[in-house]
Structures are given as C-alpha cells and as structure tokens.
Amino acid sequence: MVTWSPSSWREKPIKHVPDYPNLDHLKEVEKKIKSYPPLVFAGEARNLKNILAEASDGKAFLLQGGDCAESFLEHGPDTIMDTFKLFLQMSAVLTYAASVPVIKVGRIAGQFAKPRSSDTEVIDNKELMSYRGDIINGIEFNENSRTPDPERLLKSYRQSAATLNLIRSLSQGGYANLEHVHNWTLEFLNNSPVSEKYKDLANQISQTLGFMRACGITPQSSHALRTTDLYTSHEALLLGYEEVMARVDSTTGDWYATSAHMLWIGDRTRNPIEAHTEFCRGIKNPIGIKCGPSMTEDDLLKLLDILNPENEKGRIVLIARFGFDNVEKHLPRLIRCVKNHGHHVLWSCDPMHGNTVKASSGFKTRPFENIMMEVRNYMKVHKNEGTYPGGIHVEMTGNNVTECTGGAMSISDADLSSRYNTHCDPRLNANQALELAFLVAEEIRLAKNNI
C-alpha cells in the first residue's frame, strides 16, 4: 500500500469535487487555513474513540445528529443553543431507558459540504452549478452565487470555531444541569399530543431525580449532573480543507483531523480505492461509513481492512441507511459479514436518508412514520442477529421547522411551505426529534424486557 500523507488522496480517483475557477486562489486560502489553530484536539478525538469502544461492547449508546448542511444564514447563538438543548433532552430520555451513557456527537461546527446527485441544476431553462453547501457555493440561483468561492472555506472555519466556543461554554457552564433538562422535557410533554403515551417514562425519571436529590446527589453537588460533552462530526467530503486541517499529535506522532472529532465517508464516496477512503485511512479519529443498499459484503470488508487494519474498537461506526422497506433485506447480510470476519464495529441507524420522498406540494420531505419504521426494523434485525443496535444518526434542528411530515403535531404536505428552511434535505424539528427519542427509548426498553 502507498505511504499515506495528508495529500496522498490527490493521487486517487475522486468524485463530488467542486470545480474552482481559480486554483491559485484556492491554494492561497488553503495555505492560510493550514496556519490556523486546530478546531479540536487529538486527545478529545481519542476520548471519543474510547467511549465509542465502550458502545461497541453494549456499554453506551451513540446519539449523532444535527443539520443536513449547516448554513451561514442560520448561524447564531439561539440556533446553537436550541440544538444543544435538544441533544440534552434526547440523551436524558435515552440514558434512562437504556441504563447506559449516551454519547452525544453533533453534525455541527463543520457540516457545510454536501454531495449532489447532479453537477448542475436547471430552473426556468437556466442551467447552473448545483448547490454543494455553504463552504463551496451559495444557495441563491444566480451565476455569481453558484460559482465555487475559496473564501467560503475561511468563513466556514471561523463559524466552526465560534460554534465550538459556545458549545464548550454550554457544556461546562451549568447549562447542562440535568434537572433543568428534565423540566424542559416535561414542558414538551405538557404541550404535546404524545404526553399520555410517555407520561409513565417521564414520571419514572422525575421519581429517580427526586430520590437522588433526597440522597444529596444534586447538580450542585455532582459535577456530572451539570456538565456534559458534545463532540463534533461531519462528512469528510471537501478533502482540500480536511488536508490542511490534518495535524500531527505532539504526544503520539499520529495524524489527526482537527476539523472535527469524528468524520464519516458518505454512501456516494466510500469506494475502497478512491480519494475519500485514502484520506480517512491515515487519520486516527473515529470514522463513520454510510452503508446503503448498494454496499456489498466485499466492499465492506475491504473498507474495514483499509480503515481499521488493527481491528481497533471505537474506530469504525457503520451507519445503516437503507430506507424502512429495505432494512430487513440488506442489514442482516452486512451484520453477518462483519460478525463472521470478527471485525469490531459500532452499528448505528440513519433512518433519514433512505426515506426521502417528494410531497404532493413539490417539497422533499421524510414521513415521520417511515423514519420510525426504519428504527423499529433496525432494532428487530439486531435482536434477531444477536448484535447490539448501538446508536442512531438523525438530521434534526432545534428550530420549529416544517420539513418532515407526520409526528404528534401531524404536519401535512400542505404545512411544509410554512417553515421549510433547510438548505438541503428535510430535518426533524425539535418536537419530532424528541418524540423520536421517546419512541427509541420505548424500543430499547422493550428489547431489554425481552432479554
């Protein structure tokens, strides 16, 4: 195998790369970013890998979520705080149900680039480059906006740094107080049609917190009850940016991506012999691999051998994204393949990407019932195969958008236009995401009761 370096991916075939009109400008910007401080540190990525290893042994559960694609327009403290708050609420419910720690990993502080099925888009007989995410070009449909602009890399770096700064402050500054988190969840239940269905679980959590307080275990007395960790992740797509954000860890001599704690390779770029796999094989961060219906057992084994030659626990997260009606057809064969060859992986369910449909109103959407059905089928397959359904990966926002139909608020096709704000694919809103957490918690409880 060719010796790895942060730039060795440039010798490999590559897909989904933007066509910059001025490569000299791009090189100048990349050189500038290379001189900037890391966004995350190697020790943090190692910590994440260690707790993901615990999850692969069934001792933790992964909650990964956030925007389909972050935007410059939606960036602001309220948006970040609402997303952080949603993570806290979902993880509290899942922690109680699973009786294991929940690892919180955001699609945040770097999820700016998106692969597209077509290089161009046609509107009113005018053809322009497709929108590829704010780090590359703009969503406005005009030639200037759609032309890839290297200056956007600088803005993405700065926005990621600002987002991380606020996340760290919220994580350690008392905002994660468990009693406050549970009170937020009770407010949700009191104003939601699903309240009766999940009242028992919420009451049990209330009783547990009351018992702990009576024993003197409070957020004031326990650091663990008022602080938390939220790690960052994004798709490793724009490899020029990832290359200049790769740094050598001074304590180990290993290379780490410092643009995020965890990166993943998408379903469209996971070819074992191509550039995205080549870049990811040389960094020591945890790596996710999206597994869709087209994933073959042979390709999966090649990817695992390339990306995790030492078969290290916590290194690989396999993110299943089949569509609710394809899970039972494809997931069992991949689970058996991994198990039969003795590979250590953490399985996670992405119930979003395989369930995108076009609504009668013309908007892309994802029916909530199909999202939940994929989760149920995913859990069912793991139960049948005797493996651990270690996590969930969702596109969501803390904002009150109307992008996915269904859920307790019964969002219809006609409702989509009222607050359809996504720059790419539809996201669960805060109510739908928390409802999903309760549903997943119920599935986990049922699975535990059947053991």
Residue tagged 């402050």 (tokens): 169
Q: Using an 8 Å Cβ cutoff, are 238 and 274 in contact? A: no
In a domain, 221, yes or no: no
Range among 107-121, 194-208, 259-273 rated most confident:
259-273
In a domain, 216, yes or no: no
Q: What is the mean pLDDT of residues 194-200?
A: 72
Higher pLDDT residue, 182 or 68? 68
Q: Report the pLDDT value the prediction gives residue 15, as an integer from 0 to 100.
A: 94
Beta pairing, strands 357-358 & 364-365: antiparallel
Average pLDDT of every residue of the chain: 93
Distance, in Å, from the CA atom of 238 to the CA atom of 250, rounded to the nearest integer, reads: 25
Two structure tokens written together for 28: 């100048």
Q: Which of 133, 132, 110 is nearest to 119 (CA)?
A: 132
Distance, in Å, from the CA atom of 113 to the CA atom of 69, rounded to the nearest integer, reads: 7
Q: Output the domain CATH number for residue 277.
A: 3.20.20.70
In order, the DSSP letters of 400-421 are ----S-BTTTTB-GGGGGGG--
Q: Using an 8 Å Cβ cutoff, are 382 and 335 in contact? A: yes
pLDDT digits (tens, 9 = 90+) for 258-317: 999 999 999 999 999 999 999 999 999 999 999 999 999 999 999 999 999 999 999 999
Distance, in Å, from the CA atom of 317 to the CA atom of 287, rounded to the nearest integer, reads: 6
pLDDT digits (tens, 9 = 90+) for 411-448: 999 999 999 988 889 999 999 999 999 989 888 877 76
The DSSP code for 103 is E
pLDDT digits (tens, 9 = 90+) for 50-97: 999 999 999 999 999 999 999 999 889 999 999 999 999 999 999 998
Q: Report the pLDDT value the prediction gives residue 176, as an integer from 0 to 100.
A: 86
Q: What is the mean pLDDT of residues 225-242?
A: 95
In a domain, 132, yes or no: yes
In a domain, 241, yes or no: yes
In a domain, 59, yes or no: yes
Distance, in Å, from the CA atom of 277 to the CA atom of 335, rounded to the nearest integer, reads: 21
Q: What is the mean pLDDT of residues 169-180?
A: 88
In a domain, 41, yes or no: yes
Confidence tier at 451 by pLDDT (50, 70, 90): very low
Number of compact structural domains in the chain = 1
Confidence tier at 183 by pLDDT (50, 70, 90): confident
Q: What is the mean pLDDT of residues 204-218?
A: 85
Q: Which of 157, 219, 156, 171 is nearest to 44 (CA)?
A: 171
Q: What residues make up the domain containing 32?
A: 8-176+227-449
The fraction of the chain above a pLDDT of 90, given in percent, is: 78
pLDDT digits (tens, 9 = 90+) for 371-389: 999 999 999 999 999 999 9
Q: Is the pLDDT of residue 346 over 50?
A: yes
Distance, in Å, from the CA atom of 76 to the CA atom of 72, rounded to the nearest integer, reads: 9
Higher pLDDT residue, 406 or 221? 406
Q: Is the pLDDT of residue 450 over 60?
A: no
In a domain, 68, yes or no: yes
Confidence tier at 242 by pLDDT (50, 70, 90): very high
Two structure tokens written together for 83: 């997303």
Residue tagged 């859990």 (tokens): 379
Count the alpha carbons within 13 Å of 352 in the hemisphere toward its beta carbon.
26
Q: Which residues are 406's β-sheet partners?
A: 411
In a domain, 329, yes or no: yes
Which contiguous run of DSSP H or E holds residue 157? helix 151-172
Q: What is the mean pLDDT of residues 7-11?
A: 98
Q: Which of 191, 209, 358, 261 is nearest to 51 (CA)?
A: 261
Task: Put residue 133 in one of left, alpha, beta given phi > 0 → left and psi -120 to 50 → alpha.
Answer: left
Confidence tier at 151 by pLDDT (50, 70, 90): very high
Q: Report the pLDDT value the prediction gives residue 195, as an integer from 0 to 100.
A: 64
Q: Which of 210, 192, 284, 298 is nearest to 247 (CA)?
A: 284
Q: Is the pLDDT of residue 1 over 90?
A: no
